[in-house]
Structure 1
Amino acid sequence: MEQVLDAWDDQIVINTVHNLHAHYRDSEIYEELNRMVYDHVDGFVHMGQVSEGLFQNEYPETKRNPHEVIPHGRYEVFDNGVSREEARRRLGLGQKSHVVLAFGALRHPEELRLLMEGLRIFSEPKKKLVVAGRLAWANNKVHTGALRGYHSLRSIARPVQFYFGAIDNDEVQYFLNACDQIVIPRKDILNSGDVTLGFTFGRVVVGPKCGVVQEVLEETGNPVYDPESPESLANALNEGVGLVKRGKGEQNRVYAEKFMDWGDIARKHIEFYKSVR
């Protein structure tokens, strides 16, 4: 590792900060590795203002380096040509249901429990939860505890539909166009691509009061919740129902087009790289 890092000394190295710590894998070894790498980095890109402060507080030695805030770009890579009705027919969802989508890996049983309890309390009578992705722990394998949680979730809140495994790129549009809200069931997070993904497809996004996720959702008027409280999650989902009816999803789409455009984001990266040189 030292040889690799030493070889960087002849290069300009920019680090994009996505997380402060590895998800559910934090350890002294990871901490040491992070500091070794950051000691050889010339500049840092953050996806929100709060990220810069949190990161420098965690790694004060990086204050000597230049930092730049550049938002996450929207997901133009995915097809987006199916209607809500077609998407729901494809996934076997009722046209009158209020569909909440949890998209991506659930990394720990506590995330599944948060979803389970929040959905149970969520008062929308036509609620339907779709979980699309992996139930995976630190070893990237499905855990028996997760499966027990899955069966428990089905027994407590029957309007649940699971799609296990990776979602093909050409299938993403069906999940996003079928849902009314996206929920991010995370306990401790800095950034989430689900914010940008939901905005790209014009959906209301519900996320935890953490990091850049909270910063962007509060700035745009989307619901946030206390990740230690299923009641708070349920309240945020209830708020989301009203926002869906008032056209917040379309406002999110317009926001993504204006502030998450890849042309602008690429230009900002190039300017920052040149300034670091």
Structure 2
Amino acid sequence: MASDKPLVIGLWPGPSFATNDFAAIYARALEAAGCRIVDLVNPMRLREPIDILHIHWPEQLLWQGGSVAVQALRVVRALATLGRLRRRGIRIVWMVHNLRPHELTGVRRLLWRLIEHRLPALVDGVMTLSPATLPRVHDTFPALRDTPAQTVPHPSYPADHALARDAARAALGLPAEATVLAMLGFLRPYKGAEALIESFRALPSDRHRLVIAGRCQPGYAATLTGLAAGDGRITLAARALDDRELALHTAAADWIVLPFRDYLHSGSMVHALSFGRPVLTPRAAFAEDLATLVGRASIRLYDGPLTPDTLAALPAEAPVPDLRALDIHVIGADARRFYERLELRQ
């Protein structure tokens, strides 16, 4: 493919997707590399020519609800559409964000099995956000082992570095001199907030504060509230944070603690680093690779369960993460070259 030809990428979902900022950031990375973006809400409604269909989260087919029959029909029609688009010569790329959707139950679990069985045969390329996570994808989806693959780093998030730490703490009612640990974003059981609260409560320190804030289901919010009750050092806000509030809470923290138990990639980790905040997290493939890119002092890894000693050993300050490898221009250029290689394949 000639390098000056606009490469047209259909992103499903695209930059208008409000649930996850990654979609818009990735679109900007491709635009910076000279690609033209088609924002797809539904590939079955594609009305203009594209070269590549890039899928972010195929589980979005399960998010819309409806009766069992409606959900099943939606999945079957979407898979059939992908097959038709591929026969028309459109290359299909699956960026595997998760090995499987979190907390699937009932009919959605059955429908996901259909998706994970059929989708690998329909894609021309697979992408992950870390070289070390690609083997896990191959283990979970053996049919993808011979599919062309590309890894690109998770791009950094736009960050407001004008937010001063002391001002952010004053706004949130936190002591200026405290060591503030924070866990922010969508709170789900697999992310380990319970273990963090339990370890923090066992930390014999009046200097430390723990802030846990983000959207979660009411039942889980009640569980976290019960665990945190009686410890005045813990602030729990079990509600959705808008972008300004998330930035404010991040700016107030010394360390972002992410005790995730089982995951493939983490936008929360990259968000913290984008705001210049170091991260404490268990040793995992994605975290290891990310630490190599941004500096190992900015991501402290631990083995085994989280303990009070691990929290107490965190230094008051850590070097500012080096985000150059997470720049959208680098990522967009790598992704475009991969798409072009797929276009040249017969």
Structure 1 residue runs of 4+, over 4 Å off? none
CA contact (8 A) 2:209 2:233 kept: yes
Which structure shows the higher helix fraction? 1
Q: Which of 258, 268, 273 pairs up with 1:184?
A: 258
Change over 3 Å in CA distance of 1:259–1:39 after alignment to 2: same
Deviation at 1:28, TM superposition (A): 4.8
Give the aligned length: 258
Gaps of 5+ in 1: 137-141
Gaps of 5+ in 2: 1-75
Distance in 1 separating the partners of 2:301 and 2:117? 32
Change over 3 Å in CA distance of 1:17–1:109 after alignment to 2: closer
* 2:78 paired with 1:4: no
**Secondary structure of the equivalent of 1:64?**
coil
**Secondary structure of the equivalent of 2:122?**
coil
Counterpart position of 2:68: none
Counterpart position of 1:95: 176
Counterpart position of 1:225: 302
Counterpart position of 2:185: 104
| Matched residue type, 2:185 | G
Counterpart position of 2:112: 30
**Secondary structure of the equivalent of 2:145?**
helix
Which has the higher mean CA deviation after the structures are superposed, 167-176 or 63-72? 167-176
* 2:226 paired with 1:147: no
Counterpart position of 2:32: none
Deviation sequence 1:48-86 (CA, Å, 0-9, x none): 11111111111121111111110011111x433221111
CA contact (8 A) 1:223 1:236 kept: no
Change over 3 Å in CA distance of 1:52–1:215 after alignment to 2: same
| Matched residue type, 1:261 | D
Q: Which has the higher contact order (CA 8 A, sep 6+)?
A: 1
Q: Structure 2 matches for 1:161-176, cutoff 5 A?
A: 161-176=235-250
Counterpart position of 2:214: 133
Deviation at 1:214, TM superposition (A): 3.9
Change over 3 Å in CA distance of 1:148–1:60 after alignment to 2: closer
Deviation at 1:98, TM superposition (A): 0.7
Distance in 2 separating the partners of 1:110 and 1:84? 26
Counterpart position of 2:161: 80
CA contact (8 A) 1:100 1:130 kept: yes
Distance in 2 separating the partners of 1:203 and 1:170? 16
Deviation at 1:42, TM superposition (A): 1.0
Counterpart position of 1:237: 311
Q: Structure 2 matches for 1:64-75, cutoff 5 A?
A: 64-75=146-157
Counterpart position of 2:29: none
TM-score (norm 2): 0.69
CA contact (8 A) 1:184 1:206 kept: yes
* 2:98 paired with 1:19: yes
CA contact (8 A) 2:190 2:261 kept: no
**Secondary structure of the equivalent of 2:229?**
helix
